[in-house]
């Protein structure tokens, strides 16, 4: 297949492209607003004309739409920017896919739910986002499902992966611990982790099986940010670093209203016989070891 990947310099794209390259019959073109790299060129999903030119030239068999504004504080401070990227950019991609009969894989988030259910939300439950990020991602979902006949919507929770591209909580904690900093971690917010390597594996299975629809892809087990930090400390085995519990009111910006529980139930993967990602402890330990190895050996295959 010819696969077009938006947001190609992001943490999920790192593993999606890696998995896609395992099939040597695949040709991958990445586009990203932030510069170029191997098999990647500049592309802005907010610019319909230039995006359409890229698609017409490359003629992809499928599009993986990973590009989004995921910074919650940025979305709250500048809702117009969030809407232009997450809603308008997605509408551009969806419209082009419909016109050219191209299936679309769209990445969404647990933040479309209000987080009132401790046990988590299944795929068919009613969304109720609490913040601008969740609202724009929900609208993007609706656009994809309305416009593109053949679509896969994958909802993730607390994503981690991509090694040096990891700008989320796990990456920040690993770097802080390696730097010898004392850690304060929140105990009153819970969620599921989504390891990008596992997310990419599941997405590949869904695409190859032509399994259209909405799917939740998360590591099993509910976890707090404090537990995540504790596990990272355990794996790294660093001495002399303190880990102190704190609350979201103390650590998070008051600008963003965050769900108490960002938990998803992956009922549909089980129904179609795709293995769910493993327990969060297993994936997190595996990732932390790879992250450490990538720092020690920047030229290793894991860090390319």
Task: Tally Cβ neighbours within 10 Å of residue 273.
Answer: 9
How far apart CA 222 and CA 32 sit, in angstroms, is 32
| pLDDT the model gives residue 251 | 66
Residue length of the chain: 304
pLDDT value, residue 304: 44
What are the CB-based long-range contacts (under 8 Å, 24+) for 82-86? 82/132, 82/133, 82/136, 83/136, 84/46, 85/45, 85/46, 85/136, 86/133, 86/136, 86/137, 86/139, 86/140
> pLDDT (tens digit, 9 = 90+) per residue, 251-269?
666 778 999 999 999 999 9
Q: How far apart are CA 106 and CA 243, in angstroms?
A: 37
Is 6 in a helix, a strand, or coil?
strand
Q: Where are the domains of the chain?
A: 2-303
Tell me if the domain spanning 2-303 has CATH number 3.90.1150.10: no
| CA 63 vs CA 9, 94, 151, 184: distances in Å | 15, 9, 10, 40
Q: Which of 20, 177, 205, 3 is nearest to 104 (CA)?
A: 3
| pTM of this structure | 0.93
- Which residue do the tokens 């969806």 mark? 94
Tens-place pLDDT, residues 166-198: 889 999 999 999 889 999 999 999 999 999 999
pLDDT at position 29 is: 95
- Enumerate residue ranges in the chain where pLDDT < 50: 301-304
> Cβ distance 134 to 112 under 8 Å?
yes
């Amino acid at each position: 297949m010819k696969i077009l990947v938006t947001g190609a310099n992001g943490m999920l794209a790192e593993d999606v492209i890696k998995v896609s390259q395992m099939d040597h019959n695949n040709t991958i073109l990445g586009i990203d607003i932030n510069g170029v790299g191997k098999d990647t060129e500049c592309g802005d999903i907010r610019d319909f004309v230039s995006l359409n030119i890229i698609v017409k030239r490359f003629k992809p068999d499928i599009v993986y739409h990973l590009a989004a504004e995921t910074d919650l504080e940025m979305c709250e401070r500048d809702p117009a920017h969030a809407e232009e990227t997450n809603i308008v950019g997605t509408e551009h991609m969806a419209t082009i896919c419909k016109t050219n009969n191209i299936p679309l894989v769209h990445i969404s988030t647990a933040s479309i739910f209000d987080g009132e259910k401790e046990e988590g939300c299944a795929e068919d439950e009613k969304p109720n986002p609490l913040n601008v990020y969740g609202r724009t991602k929900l609208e993007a979902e609706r656009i994809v499902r309305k416009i593109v006949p053949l679509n896969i919507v994958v909802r993730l929770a607390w994503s981690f992966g991509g090694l040096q591209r990891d700008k989320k909580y796990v990456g920040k904690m690993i770097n802080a611990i390696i730097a010898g900093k004392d850690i304060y971690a929140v105990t009153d917010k819970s969620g599921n982790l989504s390891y990008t390597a596992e997310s990419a594996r599941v997405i590949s299975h869904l695409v190859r099986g032509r399994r259209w629809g909405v799917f939740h892809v998360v590591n099993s087990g509910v976890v707090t940010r404090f537990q995540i930090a504790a596990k990272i400390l355990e794996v790294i085995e660093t001495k002399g670093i303190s880990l102190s519990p704190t609350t979201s009111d103390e650590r998070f910006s008051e600008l963003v209203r965050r769900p108490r529980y960002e938990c998803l139930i992956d009922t549909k993967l089980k129904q179609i016989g795709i293995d769910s990602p493993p327990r969060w402890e297993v994936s997190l330990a595996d990732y932390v070891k790879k992250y450490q190895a990538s720092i020690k050996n920047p030229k290793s295959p894991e860090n390319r």
